[in-house]
Structure 1
Amino acid sequence: MAAISAAMVKELRERTGLGLLDCKKALKETGGDIEQAIENLRKSSGMKAAKKAGRTAADGVVAIRVADDASYGQVIEVNSETDFVARDDSFLAFVDTVADKAFAEKQVDVAAIMAGDLEAAREALVQKIGENIGVRRAADSSGDVVGGYVHSTNKIAALVTLKGGDVELAKDIAMHVAAVNPQFVSPADVSQDVIDKESDIIKAQPDMEGKPENIVEKMIGGRIKKFLAEISLTEQAFVKNPEFTVAKLAAQAGAEVVGFVRFEVGEGIEVEEVDFAAEVAEQLAASK
C-alpha cells in the first residue's frame, strides 16, 4: 500500500471540498489512488459537495453583534452561491452560530473561528444544501460607543465607533455608512497617493487644456476639496437630514466619529460568468 502523504490529502481536499478525515479515509481505502477515491466519494454522495466546491460563493449575508454596553461590536460575512440559499433557514442558523462564536471569543480570524465543530457543521451544510458555503471575513471595533446597522436585505452592514454620544447616534451614522459607502472617516485620513491620483485625473480632463498653470492649480485645488468631501464620512451630508454633515450631527451630540467598518456581500469577489445552457448540455452528456 502506498503511503498517504499530506500532499495527496491536500489535493483530494482541494478537488472535493471535503474534510481532512474523510479524505484521509478515502485514500487509505484505495491505497492512495486519488481518482478511485473520488469515484468512491461520488458513490457515497460526497461529490455533491465536491462538484460545488470550485464555484464562486459570492452571495450570502452579513451579520453584526454589539455588546450590551456598546463598547464592542463585530461584523461578519458568510457566503453562499445564490440568494435562494442565503434565505434558507438552515443557512441563516449557521450564520448565527458563527457570528455568536466569533463575538463571544472576540475573534476575527476566520480560521480560528471555524476551528473544530464549526468546520464540520459547514461541511455538513454544504452536503445538505448542495452549494459552496464559506465564512469569508470578520472585523470588529471597540471604543466609547459602538453602534451597528444591517440593511433589510442582510447584504450590507456597518459598524460605527464614536467618542462620546450614544448608541442611537452611532446606529444612525452606521445607517448612513451602509447607504452612502464613504471610503475614509475624514479628509485627514486620505493618503497622498489617493490625492495625487485624483489630481492627475483632474489635470487630464478636457476643460484644463490650454489654461495657465496657476488657473489649473486653483481648479485642481477646488475639485480635490470637493472630492475629499465626497469620500469622507465626516464631510458627507447626513442621509436623514442633508442640512447637516455627519461631523456636525455628531458634534451637536457631543460626539466625534473615530471609525467605521462596512461590509457588502460579495464586494471584491470576481464572479465567473457561466454559460448555463452549455453547463446543462455538459451535464446531460455526462449522464448518458
Structure 2
Amino acid sequence: MADISASAVKELRERTGSGMMDCKKALAEVGGSVEKAIDYLREKGLAKAAKKASRTASDGRIFHYVHNNFKVGALLELNSETDFVAKTDEFNALGHEIAMHITAANPLYLRAEDVPAEDLEREKEIYRQQLRDEGKPEDRIEKIVEGKVRKFYESTCLMEQGYIRDPDKKINDLVVETIAKLGENIVVRRFARFMIGE
C-alpha cells in the first residue's frame, strides 16, 4: 500500500467533499493519485446513489428563479427523504441550479418517459419523412431515427439535458452526485417555466 500524504488527503477532501477515511481509503486503493482517487470516489458514490434511488422522497422544498430581466422564471419541486437534507447547502444549491437551468434551457418534459406517445410518434414521422426526402435507404432509416429520438430527449427532457454550466454533465448527473454526497434519495418532482407573453 502506498504512503498516503496528509496533503493528498486534504486536497481530495477539498475537491470532493468526502470524509477523511473515505479519502484515505480511495488514495490507498489507487496508489496515491488524487485524480484517480476522485474517479474512484465518484464510482463508489454513484453506486451508492443508485441503491438509494428506490427510497421514498416525500420531503423537500420549492425553488424559484427569476432572470434579471424579470421576463422569464421557473418554479421547481425538489424532494428529499428528510427535512434535514432539504435544509443543507448542497440540496439548496442543487435546487437553485436546476431552477436556473429550467429558466435558461426551457425543457418541455421532466423525463423521457413523460413524453406523450403521440408527440414522440409525430417527431419520429417527421424524421422518417426528412430521411426519405434526403434519399436515405429504408433499411437504415429506423436506426437513424433512434439516434434522432435520443437527441430529441436531450433537447426537450430536463433530466436528459446538458447542464447549462457544464454541457458534458446531464441534469440527472447533478442529482445523482448530490445523492451520493448527502446519502439520501433526491427526486426532481415537477417544474413550471413562465415567460412574459407566452
The TM tier, using the shorter chain, reads: 0.5 to 0.7
| Structure 2 counterpart of 1:244, one-letter code | K
Partner of 1:252: 177
- Percent identity between matched residues is 33
- 5+ residue gaps, structure 1, are 1-141, 268-288
CA deviation profile, 1:226-272 (whole Å, cap 9, x unmatched): 111210000111112223110110111112212111000111xxxxx
Structure holding more helix per residue: 2
Q: Tell me if structure 1 keeps the 8 A contact 2:131–2:141.
A: no
- Superposed, which structure 2 residues align to 1:115-264 within 5 Å? 144-164=60-80, 166-206=91-131, 209-254=134-179, 255-264=186-195
RMSD between aligned alpha carbons? 1.9
Structure 2 residue matching 1:198: 3-state secondary structure: helix
Larger Rg: 1
Instruction: Quote the offset at 1:214 in angstroms.
Output: 2.7
Structure 2 length normalisation: TM-score?
0.59
State the distance in 1 between where 2:100 and 2:134 align. Answer: 41
Instruction: Give TM-score, length-normalised by structure 1.
Output: 0.41
Letter in 1 for 2:193: R
Q: What corresponds to 2:196 in structure 1?
A: 265
Cα deviation per residue 1:211-235 (whole Å; 9 max; x = unaligned)? 4433111111111111112100001
SS at match of 1:144: strand
- Structure number with higher relative contact order (C-alpha < 8 Å, ≥ 6 residues apart): 2
Preserved CA contact (<8 Å) 2:132 2:138: no
Quick check: 1:230–1:236 contact (8 Å CA) kept in 2? yes
Do 2:61 and 2:77's aligned partners in 1 also have CA atoms closer than 8 Å? yes
Structure 2 residues not aligned, in runs of 5+: 1-57, 81-85, 180-185
The residue type equivalent to 1:241 in the other structure is D
Task: Please say if residues 146 and 167 of structure 1, whose CA atoms lie closer than 8 Å, have aligned partners that are also in contact.
Answer: no
Distance 1:191 1:161 in 2: 21
1:86-132 CA distance string (max 9 Å, x none): xxxxxxxxxxxxxxxxxxxxxxxxxxxxxxxxxxxxxxxxxxxxxxx
Q: Which runs of 4+ in 1 moved over 6 A?
A: none
- Structure 1 contact 247–256 (Cα < 8 Å) conserved: no
Displacement of 1:200 after TM fit?
1.2
Amino acid at match of 1:148: H
| Pairs aligned (count) | 126
Amino acid across the alignment from 2:99: A
In structure 2, distance between residues paired with 1:206 and 1:187: 23
CA contact (8 A) 1:144 1:161 kept: yes
Contact kept, 8 Å, 2:73 with 2:194, in 1: the verdict is yes
Task: Decide whether the 8 Å contact of 1:247 with 1:257 is kept in 2.
Answer: no
Confirm or deny: 8 A CA contact 2:154 2:162 kept in the other structure: no
